[in-house]
Amino acid sequence: MPVIVDAAPTAADLAGVEPAAVDLADPAFHSGDPHLVWAAMRARSPLHRQDLGDGKAFWSVTRYADVCRVLSGHDEFTSARGSLLTQLGGRETAAGVMLVASDPPAHTRLRRPLARWFNSTAAARLRDRIVVAVRRVLHGVAEGGTWDAAGETAVLPVAVAAALLGLPEADWPDLTRWTGMAAAPEDPAYRVARPEVTLAVAHHSLFEYFADLGRTARGTDGLVGHLMADAGGLSRDEVVVNCYSILLGATATTPHTISGTVAALAERPGLYRAVVEDPGLVPGLVEEGLRWTSAASSFLRHATGRIELAGGTVEAGEAVVAWVGSANRDAEVFTDPFRFDAGRRPNRHIAFGLGPHYCLGASVARTTLQVFFAEFRRLVGAVEPAGVPVPLRSNFVRGSGSVPLRVTAA
C-alpha cells in the first residue's frame, strides 16, 4: 500500500488559532473544518468554557483520554439531561424512557430487550438483506459517470433499519427526510422556518409514525411488532421513543461515514487502487473511515458533582461536550492522526462512543459498511472528485449533503 502523507497542523498553524474566538455551538463552524481549532484546544485549552450569552454555557473536552472519561460512565457524567448540544439548557422529557437519555439502572432495563436485535449474530443474519440494500444504492455506479456519494447513500441506513424494525418501503423517503431534519435542523436542505420548528416537526412526525406503526405491527415480524407484543416489558411510549432513537442514530452516522470515506479514497487514487487489488483491506478501511469521519461528532453530558477534569474544575450540574471527532485525531493515541491509513494498527477510535452508551447498532453498522465497500471496490475501477462537497450544517453530525464524484466502472 502506498504511504499517504496528509499534513498535520504545524506549531505555526496552531499559534494563529484562538479557541475563545470560535463559537463551537454554531453549526456553520462545523460545516467548515474544525480540526485546526480542535488541535489548538488539545494543545492549549483541553478544558474550554464557552458562554453563549443567553444564560447557557458549556465546557468542551477534546483530548482522547478526557472524552473517554466523560463518555465512559454515569457516576461522574449523566445523560439524563440530554445527549445533544441542541438540548443545552432544555429539559429532557425522555429521561429514563429513551436509551440515550438514561443512566443505569433505567438504561440497563431499556437496553436489555433491544440488544439482542443488534448484536453480531443479528448482523450476520441480516447480511443478505444488507447486500440487497447496498446493491440498490450502487446501481448507478456500474455505468460510470458522475455519482453523488452522499445523496445516493442517504436511504441506505433506513433500508437496513427497515429489515430490523419492519418499516414499509413506501415510508423510506419520509423517514430519511425526518431523520435528516432531526440531525441537522440548521441545514438549508432540511430547515423549516426556524431550527426549533424543524426539530419540532421532525420529532412529532417520527414519534407519530412509530406510534401508528406500533398499533398495526403488534405481534408481527420485526423489532417494533416484537416489542409492542410486550416482549421485554417495555411500555408503548418506550418502544416509540427508542425506535425513533435507533433510526436517528443509523441515519446520522452510516451514510456520512460512507460518503466521507469514499471522498477520502477519491483524493488518494493510489490507496483506492490498493483496495481494489486487495479485498483484505476492506475491514481496515472501514475502521479508518469511522475514525476519519467521526460522523457522530459530539455528545452532551452534565456533571453529577464537582469534578476535576483536564486540568480544570467542572461544577455539579454544568454541561460538558465531548468532541469525538477531536479525540479521534489525538496524536497521543493515533500515530500520524491526520494521515488516512487503511492499514492503521491499532485503531482505537471511539466513533461508536464508549461505555454504557456504546452504539447499540455498531455491529449492524460495521456489517453495512463492510458490505458497501466490498461491493464498491467490485463495481468501481477508479474514483475521483467531480466537484466541491456541500457540507452539512450541524453541531452533532459531521458530514455532507452532497459529495459529487466521477466513477469509472470496473
Sorted by sequence, the CB contacts under 8 Å of residue 391 that are 6+ apart come out as 30, 31, 32, 399, 400, 401
Flag whether pLDDT at 2 surpasses 50: no
Instruction: Give the helix/strand (H/E) hosting 405.
Output: strand 404-409
CA–CA distance, 298 with 291 (Å, rounded to integer): 13
Place of cell 468532541: 323
Given this model, what pLDDT does residue 220 score? 64
DSSP codes, 52-111: -SSS-EEEEE-SHHHHHHHHS-TTTEESTT-SSGGGTTS--TTTTTSGGG--TTHHHHHH
CA–CA distance, 406 with 409 (Å, rounded to integer): 10
pTM of the predicted model, to two decimals?
Answer: 0.93
| HSE toward the beta carbon, residue 125, CA cutoff 13 A | 10
Mean pLDDT throughout 353-361? 92
Q: Does 195 or 326 have the greater pLDDT score?
A: 326
Bridge-based pairing state of the strands 57-61 and 319-323: parallel
Q: Does 70 or 164 have the greater pLDDT score?
A: 70
Given this model, what pLDDT does residue 3 score? 33
- Which grid coordinates are listed for 60? 468542551
Given this model, what pLDDT does residue 34 score? 94
Whether 321 contacts 24, CB under 8 Å: yes
Place of cell 455551538: 25
Whether 222 contacts 166, CB under 8 Å: yes
Mean pLDDT throughout 148-154? 94
Q: Where are the alpha helices (DSSP H) in 95-171?
A: 106-115, 120-137, 149-153, 156-165
Whether 159 contacts 172, CB under 8 Å: yes
Mean pLDDT throughout 181-193? 88
CA–CA distance, 385 with 50 (Å, rounded to integer): 37
Given this model, what pLDDT does residue 375 score? 97
Sorted by sequence, the CB contacts under 8 Å of residue 28 that are 6+ apart come out as 186, 393
- Which grid coordinates are listed for 164? 430490523
Beta bridge partners of 407: 145, 383
Given this model, what pLDDT does residue 373 score? 98
- Which grid coordinates are listed for 245? 432513537
Which tens digits make up the pLDDT trace of 251-298?
888 999 999 999 999 999 999 999 999 999 999 999 999 999 999 999
CA–CA distance, 381 with 130 (Å, rounded to integer): 22
Hey, what amino acid is at 383?
A: V
∠ CA 7-13-14 to the nearest 5 degrees?
115
Q: How confident is the model at residue 5 (pLDDT cuts 50, 70, 90)?
A: very low
Place of cell 436509551: 99
By C-alpha distance, which of 409, 384, 395 is closest to 149?
384
List, in order of start, the domains of the chain with CATH numbers: 11-409 (1.10.630.10)
By C-alpha distance, which of 384, 156, 356 is closest to 266?
384
Reported residue count of the chain is 410
Hey, what amino acid is at 204?
A: H
Instruction: Give the helix/strand (H/E) hosting 308.
Output: strand 307-309
Given this model, what pLDDT does residue 231 score? 62
By C-alpha distance, which of 277, 325, 280, 273 is closest to 298?
325
CA–CA distance, 249 with 361 (Å, rounded to integer): 8
Chain-wide mean pLDDT for the chain? 91
